[in-house]
Amino acid sequence: MSEKTKDLRDAAPDVPWHVLRDGRRIPQLGFGTYPMDDAQAEELIPEAVWRGYRLIDTAVNYGNERGVGQGVRYSEVPREELFLASKIPGRDQGADSVRRSLEGTLERLGTDYLDLYLIHWPNPVTDRYVPTWREMLRAREEGLVRSVGVSNFLPEHLLRLERETGEMPVVNQVELHPQYQQEALRRFHEEHRILTQAWSPLGRKTDLLQNEWLAEIARRQGRTPAQVVLRWHVQSGIVPIPKSSDTGRMAENIDVFDWELTDEQMERLRMMHTGISGSGFDPAVHEEQ
Ligand SMILES: NC(=O)c1ccc[n+]([C@@H]2O[C@H](COP(=O)([O-])OP(=O)(O)OC[C@H]3O[C@@H](n4cnc5c(N)ncnc54)[C@H](OP(=O)(O)O)[C@@H]3O)[C@@H](O)[C@H]2O)c1
């Protein structure tokens, strides 16, 4: 290990972990990898890991699982200290194709197991998420994945999984940030002990980071607007997975664990909700291939 790497690792914050309903643990903040390609992921993942990130979020559809796997190995941090999550794409959903898709993911990542395996989108028009879920539960029984979850699911989809298979996911990863707070969905998650993960936690494709109230809170805290937003997620019990290709911003984004927002600042942030999604994708109709 080089001196630079050792210094970075020594200075990295220890991210606390949540305990999931299935008894497994998950870091309270992770690292997003979309839209990195294999070469970028290979270069950036070690940088993120050395700066303290343990949860790495990828997906078949990002086309970077091989680079993520290489990056993890270059980091020289033992596999069991990391938390690797990937997602099955719409085209691989269905009783006969989940296993093949999962094996491809494991081969590209160069690992025997995933810590978390998610259905990327419910694709309710194609309607194959129930048999997909059954296959994922089987893969968990066989030890190929530790925890199973979903992404972009609405309460109606989650309730159907429970009705037809007897089991709800432990994680639902959804678009979420202070301008798009998903309060009703979060209440539903709490009732069913589903952990909320936030994609686009910094509000990519929105003007969130330019918000004046946010700038004021950041100034008072001596932090950046992005740090205030990520602290809001953590303090709300949400697991954000910010993506950055810049090592300075990687370090900035993970430095949110040894300070707090006041109740008044949390309330200010709560009032920033506009209900406008940055992506414009509606899980009730969106079909991800
Ligand atoms: N499940 C799903 O359907 C789904 C959908 C979308 C995304 N995701 C996952 O969620 C992850 C995060 O979402 P996202 O990438 O859409 O959005 P995001 O993390 O909210 O925003 C990423 C953008 O913010 C910039 N940024 C990062 N840190 C910053 C900082 N401290 N200050 C200012 N700008 C900063 C990044 O630029 P730089 O890179 O230049 O820093 C990048 O342009 C993805 O990478 C992916 O893993 C999942």
Q: What is the pLDDT of residue 1?
A: 75
Is 120 annotated to bind ligand? yes
Is residue 57 within 6 Å of ligand 1 at its C-beta?
A: yes
Q: What percent of the chain has pLDDT over 70?
A: 100
Q: Which residues of 260-273 are buried (b: 16+ CB within 10 A; e: fewer)?
A: ebeeebeebbeebe
Each residue's pLDDT tens digit, 168-179: 999 999 999 999
Residue 92: how many CB atoms within 10 A of its CB? 23
Each residue's pLDDT tens digit, 143-190: 999 999 999 999 999 999 999 999 999 999 999 999 999 999 999 999
Quote the CA–CA distance of 107 and 62 in Å, as a whole number: 15
Is the backbone peptide bond immediately before 13 cis, with ω within 30 degrees of 0?
A: no
Across the range 76-84, mean pLDDT stands at 97
**Residue 62 known to be catalytic:** yes
Is residue 244 within 6 Å of ligand 1 at its C-beta?
A: yes
Distance 203 CA to ligand 1 centre (A): 8
Q: What is the pLDDT of residue 238?
A: 98
Q: What is the pLDDT of residue 276?
A: 93
Among residues 34, 53, 62, 113, which one is catalytic?
62
Across the range 14-40, mean pLDDT stands at 98
Quote the CA–CA distance of 148 and 140 in Å, as a whole number: 7
Across the range 48-76, mean pLDDT stands at 98
Distance 85 CA to ligand 1 centre (A): 16
Give the mean pLDDT of the chain.
97
CA angle, 287 as apex, 282 and 289 as ends, to 5°? 140
For a mutational test of ligand 1's pocket, the pick from 116, 176, 200, i.e. the residue with the most ligand atoms closer than 8 A to its C-beta, is: 200
Q: Which residues of 5-22 are buried (b: 16+ CB within 10 A; e: fewer)?
A: beebbeebeebeeeebee
Q: Is the pLDDT of residue 211 over 90?
A: yes
pLDDT band of residue 19 (cuts 50, 70, 90) is very high
Ligand 1 atom showing the smallest separation from residue 226 Cα: 31
Q: Is the pLDDT of residue 54 over 80?
A: yes
For a mutational test of ligand 1's pocket, the pick from 150, 171, 202, 205, i.e. the residue with the most ligand atoms closer than 8 A to its C-beta, is: 202
Q: What is the pLDDT of residue 80?
A: 97
pLDDT band of residue 2 (cuts 50, 70, 90) is confident
Each residue's pLDDT tens digit, 111-135: 999 999 999 999 999 999 999 999 9
Is residue 144 within 6 Å of ligand 1 at its C-beta?
A: no
Residue closest by Cα to atom 25 of ligand 1: 244
- Is 3-270 assigned to CATH 3.10.129.10? no
Is residue 67 within 6 Å of ligand 1 at its C-beta?
A: no
For a mutational test of ligand 1's pocket, the pick from 86, 199, 227, i.e. the residue with the most ligand atoms closer than 8 A to its C-beta, is: 199
Alpha helices in the chain (DSSP H): 3-11, 38-50, 65-75, 98-109, 129-141, 155-165, 183-191, 212-221, 225-235, 247-254, 263-270
Q: What percent of the chain has pLDDT over 90?
A: 98
Across the range 253-266, mean pLDDT stands at 98
Q: Is the pLDDT of residue 273 over 80?
A: yes
Across the range 220-240, mean pLDDT stands at 98
At residue 56, the 3 state secondary structure works out as strand
Across the range 45-72, mean pLDDT stands at 98
